[in-house]
Amino acid sequence: MVKRLQKKERVTTRLTSLLIFLVTFNLLAIPLYIALYTNFSFEPLKELNARMVSATLKFFGYNSYSDGSTVDLVSNGLLQKIDISWDSTGWKSMYALAALILATPISKISRKIKFAVIGVAIIFFINYLRISSTILISASFGFNLFDIIHTVLWREGLILAVVGVWLVWMRMEKYKIWKIK
């Protein structure tokens, strides 16, 4: 009888924790939907990505430069203009990761904020690799593959990266692997 009551209490605690997570995560999604509804865009982030990608292309020997949020690349004698759109900056993935971390009820808010900053930087870097590799592969094998590489390889890959970083953080918190106070 006591074991059954303890099991029921554990289940109730877990369900309450899950409910708190879901409500918090959905409340944190409101600014995301407002940004989507108002077509919010932050040009400096687009331009930063374009400059970083252009520098990477130059490093690999391509004739490339950035003009605002556009990367101009000469590939096979043709000028390719690649626009780094607001969606290409990975902002939704960075926001989603921060919201997942902040909504998870397993840590103090100060630790959540610290890892959210680290996690967003990780996703920013992964997104930079996504953009750069998509362009490099397209420049090498033809820009007719651009949409396939972008859609199949990286759109879902970025989602997996967000979930992966979040799961790694939860494991690190559960087993107290990282030492940020």
pLDDT surpassing 90 at residue 166:
yes
Range of the domain at 21: 2-42+86-174
Question: Rounded distance, CA 167 to CA 83, Å?
Answer: 32
pLDDT surpassing 80 at residue 2:
no
pLDDT of residue 174: 83
Q: Is residue 125 part of a domain?
A: yes
Instruction: Decide if 21 contacts 104 (C-beta within 8 A).
Output: yes
pLDDT (average), residues 141-165: 87
Helix (H) or strand (E) holding 25: helix 2-37
Q: Is residue 67 part of a domain?
A: no
Domain count, the chain: 1
- Start-to-end CA distance of the chain, whole Å, equals 41
Q: Is residue 100 part of a domain?
A: yes
**pLDDT one-digit tens code per residue, 45-103:** 999 999 999 999 999 999 999 999 999 999 888 899 999 999 999 999 999 999 999 99
pLDDT surpassing 90 at residue 143:
no
What 133-139 contacts at long range (C-beta under 8 Å, 24+ apart), as own/partner pairs, is 135/53, 135/57, 135/71, 135/73, 135/82, 136/56, 136/57, 136/60, 138/75, 139/57, 139/62, 139/73, 139/75, 139/80
State the pTM of this model: 0.89
Q: Is residue 108 part of a domain?
A: yes
Question: Rounded distance, CA 62 to CA 124, Å?
Answer: 23
Q: Is 111 helix (H, G, I), strand (E, B) or coil?
A: helix
Q: Is residue 74 part of a domain?
A: no
**Mean pLDDT of all residues belonging to the chain:** 91
Q: Is residue 29 part of a domain?
A: yes
Q: Is residue 6 part of a domain?
A: yes
pLDDT surpassing 60 at residue 181:
no
**pLDDT one-digit tens code per residue, 91-104:** 999 999 999 999 99
Q: Is residue 76 part of a domain?
A: no
pLDDT surpassing 90 at residue 155:
no
